[in-house]
Every structure is written in structure tokens, then in C-alpha cells.
């Protein structure tokens, strides 16, 4: 499963294979709940430990290994739940539903959840990716789990019981293998049938880079802001000499204004100079203290600074405050407890979640453009991008800052999420990162352009604007919630009926004896 994820390219097919192998480990012989939970734990450790070392890049191995262990506990929970629900007919279906349900739980609890490593994020080069516009990221995870489990079930029937090939279970297993890939191929060829093109806008994503690696990347006052101003002035000079097209909008990343222009007049003056030179609005990330004095906290904000008549406005014309703030980074839950385990605990910020719309309206030369925003951590959550689409976003902006994770795989894993969001929403996506990877993504999830890491860059393209809502956006979280309820209901039903359940010994119960031996249950 780890090998299916970026930066490993074009090995998306390892995801269904990995879950098929997990299904085999949990169904061969007469496994108990305890043995299935153990299989899930081993699977989780083998996946999350190599996936998440970026967590400890500058703070040591303890947070990395602790988080990987907690995530593995969720896959152990999956093993226990699936062991019970798979006592019902057609085990691959219950295996897949249980997988989706536990992914939903770990993406929501505790502290808002940790959606990193969701199965759908492995599919940026895969045949399952187009399905995201219809069934969303949870649905893709379920299809992958069902495909892997069905393949194993079919192989077992082929090898062990040829007459059983004529049974309905074999037919369902075969359909689970073929239909998703066929539907994905059709959607890939035809594009999203639920959205329509509404125009184009020329966008430049500016990657200014940071002065140093590490947690203190912004400790040199104004260095990050100056880098982005410098790159924007370079872009403006290229426009003036005819080597670059005039943009409609310039996008800087999260934390690009390391000194907030709402506090520091010199920062505001530099941003006005950049807007005037670019002759286009600039959206950029900064932090803003919450009114109320010391202790009120701050917001992680995106400001839109417009221009009229070739000159920058006096003040920002739009603001978005990040809705989903990152625990243990932007804020520290249970601060007095967690500071006992790490000297870096107090380095966490005191950011507060924002409220209100997740879109900004950008005045462009050919009419207003509605830009959706999902800042950094938010792109991992389905609801962030979906909210902006429901509010009329024509493309999605993902400002991010990955400088505190060094030269790790983190930025590539996060870029994969943005590519999945493009397909899920049927929108172009602009990823602007302080240090990389920045990217322009088309609505089908393919890369129009991308940058390297820890290098300045300018990415420009005519982005397709779209309107309408995909089925994934229209239905939102409701299908996933129904899966959670169905899985919980099946789990409780089996417990109540006591169908072949013995957590400690794996003994067969009376109903299972009847199924296997044709005997009357006592």
C-alpha cells in the first residue's frame, strides 16, 4: 500500500492488490476477531511508518512513530470490525464497507481526524481516479477494497471449487472487478458530465522559496515576503518586455506575507508595489491577530489585494480565514499534557478556525471570477473543497507551506490530494507553495505545470473555469455517513445473533456450524 502512494509513480494498482492480500490474511482458515485485528495492526504499521517520517523531520522520531502507531490502531480496529461483519453473506462487500467506515472515523476523530494516507489519494495515475467525480474519495476507497477482496474471493473459488463459479457470489465478484475499471475508463474519455466550462482566466502561481530549511524558516524578518515580491516583479518585467502574457490573477502561497500587512506598514507597501507592477490582483497567505488583545489567538488567512486602473487598492478587498486548523502544528490540544513528551510542543501556534464562505470573488478583466480556497491541511478533508463548490467556486486555490517538512515526501503526498480534488469537484486547481511543489492542475487531475522544491518559480497558464456540481459534491458526506451507519448496524446485528464469534479462541458458533456442516443449530 505504501508503494502505491506518491512520490512512487504509476503503481496505483498496488492499492487493490494490497487490500486483496489483507483480505486473504483475514479470511483464510478460521480467523478470530483477535487474529484479524492483529493482521490489521501489522498492515497499518507497515503502511504508516514509511508514509509519515516527514512528521519527525525536525522534531524527532517520537511524534512520527507515535502517530503511525495510532493510525495502525485504526487498521487494527478495522480488522476487528471486518472480522465480525464478514460473518454475513458475501464477505468482500462487508470488507469494503468496513474499510470505508474506519477511514471515515480516523479522518474525523480525535482532534478533527487525520485523513492522510486515505486510499483514494494513491490513485492520481490510476484508472479509478475518474470515479471520484461520482462517488467521491470514500467511494473510490470502497471500490478499491471491494476489487481487491473480490479478486481473492474469485481466485479461491477458481482454485478450490469449480462448480461454485456458477454461483451468484462469483458473478458479483467478477462484476466488482470489471465494472469500476470500465466506468473509470468511460469517465476518463468523456470527462465529468456534471460540470460545464464557463470561461478561462490566466493565472500565475508564484513560488518565492524560503531563506532556510527547518522550523525557523520565517525567522528572518520579511525574507519570505521579499522573495515573493521579487519573483512577482520579475514576472511583471517579463510581461512588459513581451516575453510573458499579462495575467488576470497572481497567487502567492500560505505564509507568503510572513509580516502581516495589516500590522506592518512596510509589508503593506511592498505588496501594493507588487500589485501595481503586476497590474493584477494578488491573493496571498498571512497571519492576523484576532481582535481582543493577548491570548485571543490568530487566524491563518488568505487576503485578496485588488487593483484598479493599474494601481493597487489601498487595502485588501477580500479575506478568507482557514476553517480547519491543524492540531499539533497550528494549535496544540491538551498543551499541558503534550509538552511533557516534547520540547517542541510550545512551538505549536495558537491559531483559531475561521468561519464564513470558502470563496473569494476576484475582479478580473473579463468579469468576476469566484475562487474557492482550501488552505494546506484543509485539502485533505472532503468538506473543504466541497463547501467552496457549493458556494459557486469556478476553480480551487490551494495555498500551502511545506517548508517545515524539509525535503521529504510530504509535499508530493499533498499534491496528490489536490489532484484528487480536481477530479472530485470537476475544477482546475492551483497549488501555490512557499518552497514546492507548486502546480497547476486541470479538471481531469493531470498536471499542466509543476515546480521543483526549494527553488523560486513562476507557473502560468490559462485555467479553465467551470460551473456546476459533480455528484460527489452534490451528495457530500451523506454516502459515507450511510456506510458508517450500515457497518455499525451490521456489526451490532452479528454480535446480537452471535454468529460464529469468539474473540479469544476463534471457535465456531452454532450458526457457523450449520453453514459449514449442514447441521441443525442447537
DSSP 8-state assignment for residue 135: H
Cite the beta strand spans of 290-381 per DSSP E: 298-305, 307-308, 311-312, 318-321, 359-364, 367-373
The catalytic residue among 231, 330, 376, 378 is: 376
What per-residue string of b and e applies to 27-57 under the rule 16 or more CB within 10 Å gives b? beeebbbbbbbbbbbbbbbbbbbebbbbbbb
200 carries an active-site annotation: no
pLDDT, tens digit (0-9, with 9 covering 90-100), for 439-452? 999 999 999 999 99
Count of beta carbons in the 10 Å neighbourhood of residue 160: 8
d(CA 5, CA 319): 34
| Full-model pTM | 0.89
Which pLDDT does position 59 carry in this prediction?
Answer: 78
Q: Which residues contact 147 (CB under 8 A, 6 or more apart)?
A: 16, 19, 20, 176, 177, 180
DSSP 8-state assignment for residue 257: B
pLDDT, tens digit (0-9, with 9 covering 90-100), for 7-64? 987 899 999 999 999 999 999 877 899 999 999 999 999 999 999 999 887 778 888 9
Length of the chain: 522
What is the average per-residue pLDDT within 241-270? 95
Percent of the chain with pLDDT over 70: 87
245 carries an active-site annotation: no
404 close to 412: Cβ distance less than 8 angstroms: no
3-state SS assignment for residue 196? strand
Which pLDDT does position 510 carry in this prediction?
Answer: 39
The catalytic residue among 36, 103, 307, 322 is: 322
Which pLDDT does position 294 carry in this prediction?
Answer: 62
Lowest mean pLDDT among 212-221, 264-273, 275-284, 391-400: 212-221
Q: Is the pLDDT of residue 493 over 90?
A: yes
Cis peptide preceding 7, ω within 30 of 0? yes
Which pLDDT does position 339 carry in this prediction?
Answer: 61
Which pLDDT does position 310 carry in this prediction?
Answer: 83
Which pLDDT does position 207 carry in this prediction?
Answer: 97
Lowest mean pLDDT among 154-168, 181-195, 317-331, 366-380: 154-168
What is the average per-residue pLDDT within 450-456? 95
Q: Is the pLDDT of residue 130 over 60?
A: yes
Which pLDDT does position 293 carry in this prediction?
Answer: 60
d(CA 317, CA 163): 70
Which pLDDT does position 217 carry in this prediction?
Answer: 53
Which pLDDT does position 162 carry in this prediction?
Answer: 52
What per-residue string of b and e applies to 426-458 under the rule 16 or more CB within 10 Å gives b? bbbbbbbbbbbbbbbbbbbbeebebbebbebbb
At residue 31's C-alpha, the angle toward residues 28 and 37, to 5°, is 115
HSE-up of residue 508 (Cα within 13 Å, Cβ side): 12
According to DSSP, the residues that pair with 441 across neighbouring strands are 429, 447
d(CA 305, CA 489): 51
Which pLDDT does position 513 carry in this prediction?
Answer: 37
207 is written with which cell numbers?
513560488
What is the average per-residue pLDDT within 404-421? 92
Which pLDDT does position 347 carry in this prediction?
Answer: 62
Which pLDDT does position 92 carry in this prediction?
Answer: 92
Closest listed residue to residue 371, CA positions, set 408, 399, 332 = 399
Count of beta carbons in the 10 Å neighbourhood of residue 265: 9
- What H or E segment, with its residue span, contains residue 465? strand 457-467
Closest listed residue to residue 138, CA positions, set 386, 323, 375 = 386
Percent of the chain with pLDDT over 90: 68
What is the average per-residue pLDDT within 102-125? 95
140 close to 160: Cβ distance less than 8 angstroms: no
254 carries an active-site annotation: yes
pLDDT, tens digit (0-9, with 9 covering 90-100), for 331-378? 777 566 666 566 555 665 678 999 999 999 999 877 899 999 999 999
The catalytic residue among 254, 330, 378, 464 is: 254
d(CA 141, CA 152): 17
195 is written with which cell numbers?
460540470
In order of 38, 397, 403, the CA distances from 141 in angstroms are: 21, 25, 30
3-state SS assignment for residue 249? strand
Task: Provide φ and ψ at 82, rounded to 5°.
Answer: -65, -35
- What H or E segment, with its residue span, contains residue 297? none
According to DSSP, the residues that pair with 329 across neighbouring strands are none
311 or 143, greater pLDDT: 143
Count of beta carbons in the 10 Å neighbourhood of residue 90: 16
Q: Which residues contact 293 (CB under 8 A, 6 or more apart)?
A: none
Which pLDDT does position 163 carry in this prediction?
Answer: 52
Mean residue pLDDT across the chain? 87
Q: Helices 14-27 & 91-106, crossing angle to 10 degrees?
A: 110
404 or 275, greater pLDDT: 275
Amino acid at each position: 500500500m505504501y508503494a502505491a502512494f506518491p512520490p512512487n509513480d504509476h503503481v496505483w494498482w498496488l492499492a487493490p492488490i494490497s487490500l486483496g492480500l489483507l483480505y486473504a490474511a483475514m479470511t483464510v482458515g478460521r480467523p478470530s476477531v483477535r487474529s484479524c485485528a492483529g493482521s490489521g495492526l501489522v498492515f497499518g504499521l507497515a503502511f504508516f511508518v514509511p508514509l509519515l517520517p516527514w512528521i519527525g523531520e525536525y522534531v524527532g522520531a517520537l511524534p512520527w512513530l507515535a502517530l503511525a502507531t495510532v493510525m495502525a490502531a485504526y487498521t487494527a480496529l478495522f480488522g476487528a470490525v471486518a472480522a465480525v461483519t464478514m460473518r454475513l453473506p458475501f464477505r468482500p462487500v462487508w470488507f469494503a464497507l468496513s474499510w470505508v467506515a474506519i477511514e471515515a472515523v480516523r479522518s474525523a476523530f480525535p482532534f478533527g481526524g487525520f485523513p492522510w494516507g486515505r486510499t483514494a489519494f494513491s490513485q492520481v495515475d490510476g484508472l479509478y481516479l475518474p470515479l471520484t467525480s461520482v462517488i467521491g474519495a470514500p467511494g473510490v476507497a470502497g471500490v478499491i477494497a471491494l476489487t481487491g477482496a473480490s479478486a481473492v474471493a474469485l481466485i479461491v473459488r477458481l482454485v478450490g471449487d469449480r462448480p461454485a463459479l456458477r454461483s451468484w457470489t462469483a458473478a458479483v465478484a467478477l462484476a466488482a472487478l470489471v465494472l469500476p475499471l470500465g466506468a473509470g475508463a468511460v469517465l476518463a474519455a468523456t470527462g465529468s458530465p456534471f460540470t460545464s466550462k464557463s470561461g478561462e482566466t490566466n493565472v500565475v502561481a508564484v513560488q518565492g522559496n524560503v531563506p532556510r530549511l527547518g522550523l525557523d524558516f520565517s525567522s528572518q524578518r520579511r525574507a519570505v515576503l521579499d522573495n515573493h515580491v521579487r519573483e512577482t516583479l520579475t514576472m511583471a518585467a517579463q510581461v512588459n518586455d513581451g516575453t510573458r502574457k499579462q495575467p488576470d490573477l497572481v497567487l502567492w502561497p500560505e505564509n507568503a506575507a510572513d509580516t502581516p500587512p495589516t500590522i506592518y506598514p512596510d509589508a503593506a507597501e511592498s505588496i501594493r508595489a507588487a500589485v501595481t507592477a503586476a497590474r493584477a490582483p494578488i491573493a496571498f497567505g498571512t497571519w492576523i491577530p484576532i481582535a481582543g488583545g493577548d491570548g485571543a489567538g490568530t487566524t491563518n488567512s488568505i487576503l485578496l489585494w485588488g487593483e484598479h486602473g493599474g494601481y493597487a487598492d489601498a487595502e485588501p478587498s477580500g479575506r478568507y480565514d482557514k476553517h480547519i486548523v491543524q492540531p499539533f502544528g497550528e494549535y496544540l490540544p491538551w498543551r499541558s499534557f503534550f509538552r511533557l513528551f516534547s520540547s517542541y510542543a510550545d512551538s505549536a501556534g495558537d491559531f483559531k478556525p475561521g468561519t464564513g464562505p470558502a470563496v473569494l470573488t476576484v475582479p478580473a478583466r473579463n468579469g468576476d471570477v469566484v475562487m474557492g480556497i482550501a488552505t494546506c491541511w484543509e485539502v485533505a478533508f472532503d468538506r473543504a473543497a466541497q463547501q467552496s463548490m457549493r458556494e459557486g467556486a469556478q476553480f480551487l486555490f490551494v495555498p500551502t507551506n511545506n517548508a517545515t517538512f524539509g525535503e521529504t515526501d510530504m509535499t508530493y503526498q499533498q499534491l496528490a490530494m489536490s489532484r484528487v480534488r480536481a477530479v472530485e469537484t470537476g475544477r482546475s486547481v492551483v497549488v501555490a507553495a512557499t518552497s514546492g511543489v507548486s502546480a497547476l492542475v486541470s479538471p481531469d487531475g493531470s498536471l499542466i505545470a509543476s515546480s521543483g522544491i526549494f527553488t523560486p518559480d513562476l507557473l502560468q497558464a490559462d485555467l479553465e473555469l467551470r460551473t456546476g456540481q459533480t455528484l460527489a459534491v452534490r451528495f457530500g458526506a451523506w454516502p459515507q455517513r450511510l456506510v458508517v451507519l450500515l457497518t455499525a448496524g451490521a456489526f451490532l446485528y452479528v454480535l446480537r445473533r452471535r454468529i460464529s464469534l469468539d474473540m479469544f479462541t476463534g471457535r465456531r458458533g452454532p450458526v457457523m456450524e450449520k453453514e459449514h456442516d449442514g447441521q441443525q443449530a442447537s
